[in-house]
Structures are given as C-alpha cells and as structure tokens.
Chain A
Amino acid sequence: MLRRYLRLMGVRLRASSLLAMQYRADFIVDGIISVFWMITALVPLFVVFQNAGRDIEGWSFGESLLVIGWFTLLQGVLEGAINPSLTGVVEHIRKGTLDFVLLKPADAQFLVSTERFLPWRATNAVAALAIFGYAFHLLGRGPSLVGLGISFVLLGTSVLLLYSLWILTVCAAFYVVKVDNLGYFFTSLFDAARWPAPVFRGALSFVFTFIIPLGVMTTFPAEAMLGRLPWSSLGWAILGSCLFAFVSRRLWKRAIGRYTSASS
C-alpha cells in the first residue's frame, strides 16, 4: 500500500519536472521572479531595524534574520509543493472535474495534493541556507548541534501544519462558491510569519499561536537553532501539528462526503 503511494508520488514528481522543463523560458523567468520575491521579502526587515536601531522585543537583527530564513524556506515549500496542487482543487470544484479525481482508485486527498509541483521553487531552499549563513555570521557563532537536530524535526511539524491549514482552506472552497481569493488570503496571512512571534501581543498573539500557529512554524525553529527552545515547546509543536493534521483530514472527509458535483 505504502509502496504503491510512494511510486505514485515519484511518477507525479517526474511529470511535474518534465512539464517545468518543457517551457524553458518560463523556467528562467520564474527563477528570476522567485529571486526578486526573496529580495523584497528582506526589505521590510532592513527598514524596521534601521529605524529601531536596537533589538525588537528581545530579537536582534541577526536573530530575526533566522526567522526570515525559515520563512523563506517554508514559503518555498508552500509555493512549490502545496499551493499549485491545491489551487488545482479549487479549479476542479468550480469546473466539476473533481468527479474524475474521486473516481480514481487512490485516496482523493493524496491525488489532489500531489497533482503539481513547481521544481524551480527549490531556489528558496538555497536562499534560506544563504540567509542562515549570513545570520550566524552576524551573530558571530554557529548553531548548536542539538538545536539543528530539533529544527529538522520542527521543519517536519511546520510543513505538516502548513499543509493541514491549506487543506482546511480548501475545505472552505466546498462551501464558498467563488474562491479565487482563498489562495491569496492564505498567502497574505502567512506573511505574518516573517516576524518573530513576540512582536505580536494580545489578541494577535493568541491567534498566531493557537488558531493559525504561524509563530510555531518560523519562530520555534529559529529559537531551536539558537539553542534556546525549551523541550516542552518541541512537545507542544509535535502534538499541535498532529492535532491539526487529524482535524483537517476529518474535515476533508466530511467535505468530500457532502460534495455534489457541479453538474448534478
């Protein structure tokens, strides 16, 4: 069973890569645009710290760069692996072609989630590494080894969280008819993740910790790299992401169950 799905995944990855290679001009343009995006993502940080001239809520410039690094990495995952497929679902729902997906002899959630990948988004991972390197250069020390290990685990939980949140957004697409904006909505929310979580206070801090756990996705791994993440936080991150995955899976099942195709 698992082997079958892994093979299926391999086939689809290959298909996406071939598709991306086919349009070479697009490939290059997309690469350039993705670099451009990363640069614009850094501008706000410079402006904020230039004007503050000090630490912000206990985060120095170098430390905040680590958060941006994680933001860049996750943005790559989001826009390269999660976004394209799931934007496809929205289109399927609208056109009524989701029926064909549901008829196939494999899990529908798996099928829609692996429909399309944008391989050139891997540039984000490279950029993230460069940002990490520069950040630690500014901080004048290396990451703690245990911390690196933990941050790898947290990468897993963050991706799981992102994916679950997207599935939840897609479930909303079954109920809201015109949904072009949903993807945009999600991306703009994710944008808050570029700042260290302590910046947000009051209601926003509650929302970004428990309802849309952006703080967990980027601030926790950055803290782990700095070697100051408490073990309990790691536990909560794992528990929380599993909970989100469980809830999103249940809701997806329900949404599919209630789905009546567009033509009927």
Chain B
Amino acid sequence: MSARSTLRALPTLLRVGTSEAVAYRAEMVVWFLSTTMPFISMALWTAVARYSPVGRYDSQDFVRYFLATFSVRQITGSWVAWQMNYEVRQGTLAMRLLRPISPLWSYAAENLGYMPLRLVMVLPIVLFSVVQLGAGSLPRTAWGWLFFFLALLGGWLITFLANVAIGTLSLYIESSSRLMDVWFALFLVCSGYLYPVELFPPALKGLLDWLPFRYQIGLPVELMTNAHGLGEALSLLARQWAWVSVLLVVSLLSWKRGLKRFAAYGG
C-alpha cells in the first residue's frame, strides 16, 4: 500500500467516520452523558475550596479546570481497543484486512471523523467558560495557542496509540479488555481527570510526570488554562511527544507481530 493512495483515501474515510457518528447520534449523546465525571469532581472540589483555596485553586479556578477537562476529554477520546477486541473476537477484523489500506489508518480516520459532532457539544461549554470566568479559560498568548493545539494532538495520539497497543494484545490473549480496564483505571486517577495533578502529594506527582497518563488530559488542560510559563510548557510538551514516539513504535511493532497470529476465528 503506497503512501499516496492512503493519503487519497483519507478524506473518504474521515467522511465515513462522520456519517457513522451522525447515524449513531443517540449513542453519542449517551457517551457524552457518561463523561460527566468532571462535573461531579467540580461539585466536590468547589465544596472543598468554598472556605479557603486549595493550592493556587479557588472555586472559580476549579470550575474553569473541570470545564476544560470535560472539553479536552471529548476531543482526545478514543475507543479503538474495545473495537479491536470485539472485531478480533467476532472475526470481522478480516473484512478490514481485505481493504487495500492499513486498518490502523481506518481506525484513526473513524475516530477523527467523530470530531465535528463532538465540537458541536464542546464549543458551547468552552464559550460558557469564557463568558462566565473570563478570558483566562483560553490560552492568552500566541505560543500558548500553538502549544495547546500541539498538546491536544499529542494527547489524542497517546490515547489512540495506547489503545492500539493494548487492542493488538487481543490477538495474543483473545481478550485484552481486562488489561484495558486496568489502563483506564490508572488513566482516571493519574491523568488529572479527577483533579489537577498538582494536588497529589509531591512524591507521587514526580512519578506522574514520567507516566503517559497526565499527557492525555492534564497537559492540554493546563495549557488551556494558562498554568505554565514558556519554559515549563516546553519541557512538558517534549515529554509528551517522547511518549507519543515510544507508543508509536510499540503499537506498530505489536500490530505487525500480532497480525501474523490472527486466525479469524468465528468469522
């Protein structure tokens, strides 16, 4: 499969993803509702910060943080591991392999195709945050915007590639969904999704800087809410993209090797 024809097929694949999202819009709404955890965290932390601020966060900062968290989660979401797991079990992965384009590209395009519909849900929330809490809800500087979009892309890539890496394990062990559950639990606690990473005890926070999770949600959110200066943002961004490249290599290797074992049972 040449790179050129992959590139030519990409717009079509994106369109397929978008129309799928529109077709299953009820499911989208359900998913949207099931990611309301940031609002619960928001209620909790504003209660904690009602009398005195926590660290550098007062009630308003928490509202801003969790609105940003909610938005970033919508944009960086990926569910490929579950999809792969299902398709391997049902044998329908064979159909994907028959197409003259790598399934990884089609998975990625399907994921990204959902973006327009998600933006429809996210933009009102970002707008609300800006109107209610002022311009601090969005990056203030030009480099801030650039870094924010880079972090957003990096966050999505980490989520997607980790999904691929774990999803391909289902080619070895029949069901990788349990491993995905473990990853997901770690993600919830360590990514800054439940609370800003800063609020962890210092020793634990140092560890989190080296794990991929906080770069999925935490970093884009922090950059969106102007938490870092230029130098710090740069070093964090470097770590994020280091994780992107590590996961890229791991997922591609495990995909190539796993594919040889695929036997299409049931299909």
Contact = CB atoms under 8 A, between A and B. Distances in A.
B213 to A, nearest CB: 12
Contacts of B135: none
Contacts of A48: 44-45, 48, 195
Given A33-B182, A191-B40, A199-B43, A52 B189 contact: no
Interface residues of B, number: 32
Nearest to A175: B26
Interface in B30-62: 30-31, 33-37, 39-40, 43-45, 47-48, 54-55
A189 B24 contact: no
Interface stretch (A124-132, A140-148, A159-167, A180-188): A180-188
A192 interface: yes
B167 to A, nearest CB: 15
A178 B79 CA distance: 15
Contacts of A200: 40, 43
Given A30-B178, A40-B188, A176-B30, A57 B47 contact: yes
A138 to B, nearest CB: 19
Nearest to B34: A185
Contacts, number: 79
A145 to B, nearest CB: 32
Given A40-B189, A47-B195, A182-B30, A191 B24 contact: no
B185 A177 contact: no
B232 interface: no
Interface residues of A, number: 33
Contact of B199 (A51, A176, A181): A51
B210 interface: no
A37 B185 CA distance: 7
Contact residues of A: prevailing secondary structure: helix
Given A37-B185, A199-B43, A199-B47, A47 B200 contact: yes
B40 A181 contact: no
Contacts of A30: 178
B178 A185 contact: no
Contacts of B37: 188, 191
A44 B200 CA distance: 10
Contacts of A51: 48, 54-55, 199
Contact of B195 (A37, A44, A185, A195): A44
B208 to A, nearest CB: 12
Contacts of B55: 51
B27 A47 contact: no
Given A37-B185, A40-B188, A189-B34, A181 B44 contact: no
Contact of A40 (B48, B54, B178, B185): B185
B27 A56 contact: no
B27 A195 contact: no
A40 B39 CA distance: 19
8 nearest A-B residue pairs (beta carbon): A185-B34, A178-B27, A181-B30, A192-B40, A188-B34, A176-B26, A52-B48, A51-B54
Given A51-B199, A201-B43, 19 more contacts: A40-B186, A44-B189, A47-B199, A47-B200, A48-B48, A56-B48, A176-B27, A178-B26, A178-B27, A180-B27, A181-B30, A185-B34, A188-B34, A188-B35, A191-B37, A195-B44, A199-B43, A200-B40, A204-B39
Interface of B: 24, 26-27, 30-31, 33-37, 39-40, 43-45, 47-48, 54-55, 82, 178, 181-182, 185-186, 188-189, 194-195, 199-201
21 contacts: A30-B178, A33-B178, A36-B185, A40-B189, A43-B189, A48-B45, A48-B195, A52-B48, A176-B26, A177-B24, A177-B26, A177-B27, A184-B31, A188-B34, A188-B37, A191-B37, A192-B40, A199-B47, A200-B40, A201-B43, A204-B43
